[in-house]
Amino acid sequence: MPTDPVHVVEYEALVLGRHLAGLPGRTRRRGGVLDQSAYALLTLLESRGPTTIGELVDITGLDTSTLNRQTAALLRQGYADRIADPDGGKARRFRASPAGRAALDEERRASWRALADIMSDWADDDRVALGNLLGQLNRAIEDRSGRPWPRPR
């Protein structure tokens, strides 16, 4: 195991991502309704509000064709709506539908329960510290990449 703190953070971030993708009660869970891309996009739409494909490209760094496939899947499942730009622009915007918000809420609550169970014997200060440090790392990455991820309102 590496001892350099940067190497440890990189490795543990990789492992955390793998664990969260397969966490009982998380997206892709048995009986769950959202895959990881749907969970991420619906979270983004909920945080940011109605968003164009171009804006999704800028935020996520994914290519247009990938986002077209992902938003088309959300539309087919009834988890998103395509609406006219409220500001009168030509581009159509996507927003989470009531069914999408309900599915996202169900998945998010399951994720919270699973994480709360895993960290049930942790001190509150440790849970707060981990959240703060993960936020600090994410914001540093966003500053470097120039692609800030919308935070909940």
CATH no. for 5-145: 1.10.10.10
pLDDT of 19 over the 80 cut: no
Domain boundaries, the chain: 5-145
DSSP string computed for 124-138: HHHHHHHHHHHHHHH
Q: How does the average pLDDT of the chain come out, rounded?
A: 88
What pTM value is reported for the model? 0.83
Residue-level pLDDT at 39: 92
pLDDT tens for each residue of 106-151: 989 988 888 899 999 999 999 999 999 999 999 999 999 999 988 8
88 Rama class: left (phi>0) / alpha (psi -120 to 50) / beta: left
In the predicted structure, residue 89 carries a pLDDT above the cut 80: no
